[in-house]
Amino acid sequence: MQNFNPLKIRKLFLLGIAIALAVAFFDLLTKRLIFAILENQALELNIKNPEIVIFSFFNLVLVWNRGVSFGMFNQLESGPVILSLLQFAIMVIVFVWLYRNENIYFTWALGLIAGGALGNLVDRIKNGAVADFLDFHIASYHWPAFNLADSSVFIGVVILLLDDLIFKKK
């Protein structure tokens, strides 16, 4: 780090925390709203797997993911506990990384990653699984359902990669 600036680091850290909290809030809010709508539809129509077709390639669905990305490790009996501990450890590392950071792109990236991790962690602790509802598909091929938190983590990782490959001063 050149020209160490504690005030700048503190401002960036607080910005990263604000981004993380906003992402987690909106992730949990969207899960709650979408699932309430879909559960209501399931009750009204007496169907097991409700869905709302938004576009020919995009639906809103109800999926509980007890594993990690794309449902991996879904069958682990102690999965929610192990995954919650792992998610918490990763979040601590991300927050330490965020605290030592002096780069605005890095701040946004880590805030998005931490917020997504926090939203999914709260979901996993509260429900024993993560709520996914965004379903993109082409014909009968469906991409695994995901949520706002997953999208935020992905975007954060892309920003980290772009920061490293493009924005870094050589």
The per-residue pLDDT for range 100-111, each reduced to its tens digit, is: 888 899 999 999
- Residue range 84-96: mean pLDDT, rounded: 83
**Which of left, alpha, beta for 24 (phi over 0: left; psi -120 to 50: alpha)?**
alpha
Digit-coded pLDDT (tens) for 28-49: 999 999 999 999 988 888 888 8
Selected residue with higher pLDDT from 166 and 24? 24
pLDDT digits (tens, 9 = 90+) for 147-166: 999 999 999 999 999 988 88
**Residue 123 is a catalytic residue:** no
Element (H, E) at 160: helix 148-162
**Strand-by-strand arrangement of the 58-65 sheet:** 51-55, 58-65, 130-138, 141-142
Backbone angles phi, psi at 74, to 5 degrees: -60, -30
Residue of 27, 123, 132, 135 marked active site: 132
Q: Which stretch of DSSP H or E encloses residue 135?
A: strand 130-138
Strand partners, 132: 63
Poorest-pLDDT segment among 31-35, 55-59, 75-79: 75-79
DSSP, collapsed to helix, strand or coil, labels residue 57 as coil
Residue 39 has φ and ψ, to the nearest 5°, of: -65, -35
Catalytic residue among 27, 123, 135, 150: 150
Our answer to whether residue 163 is catalytic in this structure is no
